[in-house]
Chains A and B, each alone.
Chain A
Amino acid sequence: MNNIKICRNWLILCVVCLVGFSGCKSQQKLAEEQAAEIRAENIAKSKEILLSILNDNGQMSTAEKEKKLRQAKALNSDDPEVQQLIAQVEELLQREREAAQATNDAVKVDPEVERSLGDLFDEIASASSASSANGLIEEGLSMFSSPQTTVLIIISQSGDMNDYDQPTTIERYLNYLKDRKASPNEIYQVKKDDSGKISELELIKKSIR
């Protein structure tokens, strides 16, 4: 009888120990699982942020992208894929900063060019007839590298980012002024070629100036 009792006590002890151990083990496992989950979430979040920068189709400014990159870095993920994305984003931002610098270095608008172009635009818009406007257009085109010279029109600016209308050519733009009988944009930036003719013209809406 006693033997049975001892046996039973041992059995209970074993069971308690087992339960205890497994309890400890499951707690540790739970913690590990939670850590893994947090890690996975951080990786996913980092990727989400980084991909949103890489896939941006011009909605985000460079400053916004830099801010997002800082957020992604703050998540401290050592995941190789995340690290690779960070490298890609840093490369992209470097390119954007260089391009912005190049824009700043572009020829600032010569006041004389600005005046004569502005006058040309106004004269075409207020021409008394289509034929007189056509004469002015022909004359005006001689200031440009070619009738196909690109014209960009800024429709809004926020921070360091410009939003543009669809790029057009100077020939089309001058005809547009003739048809619209209005000159809604002014000169923002001018680039010239080696022969001193305008090779790129950037305009900005008067309403946001």
Chain B
Amino acid sequence: MRKLFLTIIAICSLAVVSGQDELSPERKEAVDSLALEKVRDLSRYISIIGNKDTPFSEANRVIDRAEELFAAGSEIGVSSINRSDINYYEVTEYFKRLMALNYDRVTIKWFNIQYISDLELQPDGRYVGVITVYQRFEGISADGLRYMDTTKKDITVYVERKQTQIGGRLIGFWDVMLGDIRVTETST
């Protein structure tokens, strides 16, 4: 009976251990920078989509690439200083709105600052983290009116260890997907 109990305990603890293998600091940092790279990809895609000089076909292609960065069902929640309500958009809708903004000129710039949270293990075995970046938006309308805001973007990042067979080799890779994004207008 005791033996059986011991075996059960061993098996149970094994299941837990295999899901929570700690990564070395070097590998953690590599995963962090890979996740940050995806956020930078997104930042760049947003700049291209928002730019009025981007040809329509290019903007649509980039929207496709930007969407591929996201896990299914991801949403973008936007609020401004004067409104506590949050408007929720699906990712595609958000990009389409960005492309269709009614300004003659749009400039999107990013602050050279980003904050990467720890990666936490969630019950499905994936890691989840949040990367914070800041963006400045400037739009000038046909009649010369200028709109400007600075937003904080808290971006969910899911990281999953996967394996694939390529040319007879087993390749272990990190699948990084972006998730929900909280966009808050900041008072700077």
Contact = CB atoms under 8 A, between A and B. Distances in A.
Q: Do chains A and B touch in the complex (CB under 8 A)?
A: yes
Contact of A156 (B7, B30, B37, B58): B30
B100 interface: no
A155 interface: yes
Contacts of A55: 18
B58 to A, nearest CB: 5
A96 B171 CA distance: 11
Contacts of B18: 51-52, 55-56
B117 interface: no
Given A36-B3, A99-B169, A130-B55, A164 B174 contact: yes
Nearest to A134: B58
A174 interface: no
Given A52-B17, A179-B45, A200 B166 contact: yes
Contacts of A163: 27, 30-31, 172-174
Interface of B is mostly: helix
Contacts of B171: 152, 164, 167
Contact of B164 (A44, A51, A161, A167): A167
A59 interface: yes
Contact of A155 (B2, B9, B30): B30
Interface string A101-112: 011000000000
B7 A99 contact: no
B170 A99 contact: yes
Contacts of A207: 33
Contacts of A57: 161-163, 172
Q: Please give me the 6 A-B residue pairs with the lowest Cβ-Cβ distance, nearest first.
A: A58-B172, A156-B30, A44-B10, A164-B173, A40-B3, A48-B14
B172 A152 contact: no
20 contacts: A36-B3, A47-B14, A48-B13, A57-B162, A58-B162, A58-B172, A59-B21, A59-B23, A99-B169, A102-B169, A150-B166, A152-B171, A158-B24, A164-B171, A164-B174, A167-B171, A179-B41, A179-B62, A179-B65, A181-B44
Given A156-B30, A163-B30, A40 B7 contact: yes
B157 to A, nearest CB: 13
B130 interface: no
Interface in A38-70: 40-41, 43-45, 47-48, 51-52, 55-59
A41 B176 contact: no
Contact of B3 (A37, A180, A200): A37
A184 interface: yes
B94 to A, nearest CB: 18
Given A58-B161, A165-B174, A180 B26 contact: no
Interface string B123-165: 0000000000000000000000000000000000000011110
A93 B170 CA distance: 12
Contacts of A102: 168-169
Nearest to A46: B10
Interface string A159-183: 0011111110000000110011100
Contact of A52 (B14, B41, B55, B161): B14
Given A130-B58, A158-B27, A99 B168 contact: yes
B166 to A, nearest CB: 6
Nearest to A207: B33
A97 interface: no
